[in-house]
Structures are given as structure tokens and as C-alpha cells.
Structure 1
């Protein structure tokens, strides 16, 4: 694993000269409307454009068949490199990714891409790191004892990794904390989180904490806890304005910011260096991640909205 940070050029420096070749980056997105995913896409887009590259984003909206079509479309349109944010069974996109590689497209992933051997760069939103950090924080707050829930959501690879890590770290590091059976928030938004929170609070009167697979779901569970006037810790993996406001209001206990925009920018810098020949195509996948920032009500005032820097994509 390689820990990298994004680099910024001086104002006015596009990163290319007029005589340099223009490259096209394609993003086969999972769901553009997802705040954390959008930040990664925005980081890729902002840095790619700073370097003089063109960017094309196709949104699968969590439809694996649409994503296969998107990969083929980006390949056919002449993309030099693509980032794929996988939304389903890795085997479903294997042939499309092989067609891209055979066409000379540099294949890269977001949050893992376990489908092809020659994946060059992964922009990883630190799912394992975040889940571990959240569990350790909750475990310490509870003094190593209690009852907790780890909520899931739609069964896409990145979210499944988070839930599995959450449950595993509790088993290994906090054996005296009981993890209740998994419940999934559907839809994957604050409303779904609130519904799950309400169900958990009724079913488990001694519940001490709810760890949510995303920060938006976490904001929903926090609303349920607040409405029930229960003393239950609530956390979320990610830091969107909605969840940050929940922490500021004292409803949600903690959020983790994976710095998705920085990860996206650093990953596309690696891709640019490969495309321009500055570095060779790696024999092992380069994984770009970061150490997430942990925010509670005590330090949430330090959080800076990254969309003010990289914007959003649509």
C-alpha cells in the first residue's frame, strides 16, 4: 500500500504546455449523487483538468449492467485511462475491463477493483482504515464493554468491506462488546438510516452504539436516537455537510473524513505520470489512500468543506 497526498500546482499552472499531448480520463462512476463518491470523482476531475487532461464521467447509478456498458463506451470513445468504481459482482465487468486493456486503455479503480491483474492505480477511500478507526473509537468510549450494531446498506463491494471490517475488529479487539445481527439501511440515505435506527432502538433496549456504513446513514440513525432521547453513540464513515451539521448540533457522535478529494487527485497524478512516460506501468497496483480525520463536536469546527475547493460533479 502506498500513502500519497495530492500536489497542487501554482495558480495559473495547467501542468502541461501547448505542445504536450492531451489525454482523456474516463470515470465509470458508481453513483454520482453519493457525496463521498462525488468528492472522489471531483478530485480526479479537478486534478486531471489542472494537468490539461479531458474528463468524461458516466454514471451507472448502481446498475452493474449500465456500468459494463459505460466501460465499453469509454473504451470506444478513445479514453486513454479509466477509473472504475465497481457497483456489483466483479465478474460482471471482467470482460469489459479486458476489452479496455486490450485496446490500450490504462485501467484504474476506485475503492478496489478485484477483476483484472493489470490494474495500475487504485484511489481507495480508506474503507478498512475508517472502519477500524471507528470501531476503536467506539470501543474506547465504551470501555471495552457493551452492545453495538454495525449497519450495512446496498451490497456493493466498498460498503461490504466496511461492514465486514467493523465486525471483525470488534471480535478481535473488543471481545466483551456484543455485536448484534446486521441490519441494512435501505434506501442508502438519511431516511433509511433513521428507519434502521428506530428499529434497532426498539429491538435492543441496552444498545450502546450504532456504527453506520456511511455518514449519511449515520446522520439518520442519530436523528432516531435523538428523537428517542437515548444515550447511544452514533458514527458514520464519511463527512458530508449533512453529517457534519449533525455532529455540530450534538446529534451525531463522530464522523470520519477519508479526504476523498485528495485521494482522487493523488491517484490521477499517478495516472498522468504513467501516461506521459514519467513512470512505467507498475508491476503491482499502486494504492492511494490517506489517514482519515476524526471529528467530534469538540473539533468539528475545524472541518473545511472540500466542495469549496474541488466543487462537485454532475
Structure 2
């Protein structure tokens, strides 16, 4: 009798654990479970992206296993391996860095688990290591920021750049696009200093403080790879007794609520939108894959551009 009770308890616990799989609710044995590996969840853009994907999973009835790598590539690699071991059906991956995730992608391929890159690329071959990339054209974002700045400064001036995470595809591309435009259309504008602020407000402020000390009154503009660093730079500029967007023009990328408010307040010049609302796009892809349909290997998001002419109009829509 005790043996029968033990067996019953074992299977009861197994059933409970199976029912708890995923953070978005269970549908039973037929449930499709999506693993979402977020690189970090510590700023408004990442938080909005995470909420969009998790909310869409819940709304459409998918199970979800969610992990936050907390800005650590090794931790993200381990998390993806764990998801594969748990038997997820798909992996949605926001890569911390372009390189370093090869072993996890290999494991996913061997387990026949489709991988969908969101907002950043990682090293791999489309159609083999990953199904598709969903995100913005980061090179174009850099070009649009440079175009606005060149018009604002009349094609002349010294720029300091606050770049994103070293080695991340988004930082590489936003830098490339910005330089491409200057080289082709504004050769009298020069980037006199460039340093990573790791996409963080506090780091952006710290780096900008250092640049102000090193370059004195020689800075005409700041190009930040995201709004968090741009706002950090604005804080540093004000602490130095200067007026942001008058003494030093500020342009950025993301389109956060704080950035649009800074434009309205006259402290930031412009920001290129980089939408974080990936949920509907991600699950549209998964629905097609579930139906046996093919999907494009690249799905680009159309981003808006915000300046003094429209920042107030879109403030309530921003995150």
C-alpha cells in the first residue's frame, strides 16, 4: 500500500510540474512552449520589449519560459541550453553580443528548435542557425541621426559619441550608419571622441562628464546610441553649467517617453524611434511556422523620427 501511495504521489507531482511549465499558463500536453531569452531587463526599452512579448504569449495561449541574462553572455548561453533541455518548441533570443552564442545555436539546431532573433543579430547562418531576425535597420537609424544633426549644425562641428555595448550588433551598426552619412555628406563634421556607455543612463553620464573634462568647450554635439545614455549626457552637460541642446546639441535613438519629454523641454534635439513592441511580430512568425509556412529571414520594423515638430503628439504612445 505504501508503495502504491508513493507511486501515486510521484505521478501527481509530475502532473503538477507539467501544468506549471511556462509563465503564461498551461494548455496541457499539446501546449506550444516558447523560450524567451532576454539579454537584460534593466531599462525602459528592454522592459517594454519583455512586456510586449510575454503579454502576447499569454494572449495567444502559448506557454513561456522566460530568462534574464542580466547583461552576461555566459549566463545567456547557459539559459538557452537549459531551455533546450526543458524541451521548449521555439526560442526567441535577444542576443547580448554578436559573438559567443554559437554553442547554444548549435544545440538548438541539433534539437530542431527554431530560433528567432529579436532586435539584435548574433553570428550564425539564416535558415540554419536561426529562422529569422526581427528588428530595426540599425544602420539606417545611425544615418537618420547623422542627417538630422548635419542639418542642425550646418554641416560643421565636433561630435562625441556614446556608443552601446561593445560587440553588440546594434552598436556596431548604429556607429557605421552615422559615420557613413558623415563621410558622404558632411565631411566637415568630426567625431572627436567615442566611448561606450553600455546603453545605461548612469554610464552615459559618467562618460560624458569625462569627455567634457577632456575636450573642454570643443564639443558641439552628442550622438548617443540610445536615449538612456543621451539623458545621462544631458545631466552631465547641465552639471557642467552648460545648456543642453543650445551649447551642445543632443541626438539619440530609441524614442522613449523620457526622451520625447526632453525634446519638448528643449534639452534634446531629436531621437530616432526603435520600437520595442515585438510581441505581435514574434507570434505572427510562430503562427506561420506552426502552420508549416515559410517566413522571411529578415523582418524589418518601420521606425518614426521624433523632434520638436512631433514629440508632443506621440508622447502618450511612448514607453
- TM-score class, shorter: 0.7 to 0.9
Pair 205,152 (structure 1): closer, same or farther in 2 beyond 3 Å? same
Post-superposition offset of 1:306: 5.3
Task: Compare 75-84 and 115-124 and name the one that shifted more.
Answer: 115-124
Contact persistence 2:97–2:122 (CA under 8 A):
no
RMSD: 2.4
Partner secondary structure for residue 260 of structure 1: coil
CA distance in 1, matches of 2:291, 2:61: 12
Match of 2:190 among 146, 155, 178: 178
Could you tell me how far 1:49 is from its partner in structure 2?
A: 2.6
Cross-structure match for 2:38: 29
Give ranges in structure 1 of 5+ residues lacking alignment.
1-17, 309-314
Aligned counterparts, 1:1-314, within 5 A: 21-88=30-97, 90=99, 92-110=100-118, 111-117=120-126, 118=128, 119-157=130-168, 158-185=170-197, 188-202=199-213, 203-227=215-239, 228-230=241-243, 231-261=247-277, 263-277=278-292, 279-280=293-294, 282=295, 285=297, 287-305=298-316
The alpha carbon displacement at 1:179 in A equals: 1.4
CA displacement at 1:238 relative to structure 2? 0.8
Question: CA shift at 1:58, angstroms?
Answer: 0.5
DSSP 3-state at the match of 1:171: helix
Q: Tell me the CA shift for residue 137 of structure 1.
A: 0.7
SS of 1:151 mapped into structure 2 = strand
Distance in 1 separating the partners of 2:233 and 2:143: 20
Q: Pick the structure with greater CA Rg.
A: 2
Residue of structure 1 equivalent to 2:3: none
Distance change in 2, residues 1:305/1:21 (3 Å) = farther
Distance 1:220 1:241 in 2: 15
1:78-115 alpha-carbon deviations (Å, 9 max, x no partner): 2111111111352x221211111221211111221222
| TM-aligned CA distance change 1:82 to 1:300, over 3 Å | same
Whichever structure has more helix as a proportion of its residues is 2
State the 1:264 CA deviation: 4.0
TM-score (norm. length: structure 1): 0.82
Label 1:238 to 1:60 Cα distance change in 2 as closer, same or farther (>3 A).
same
Using the alignment, how far apart are the partners of 2:29 and 2:313 within structure 1?
40
Aligned length: 284
Return closer, same or farther for 1:89/1:125 CA change in 2, 3 Å cut-off. closer
- How many Å separate the matches in 1 of 2:164 and 2:98? 16
TM-score norm. by structure 2 comes to: 0.80
**1:59: how far off?**
0.7
| Equivalent-residue separation in structure 1 for 2:186 and 2:30 (angstroms) | 54
Structure ranking higher on relative contact order (CA contacts 8 Å, 6+ apart): 1
Q: State the Cα distance separating 1:245 from its structure 2 match.
A: 2.8
Unaligned runs of 5+ in 2: 1-26
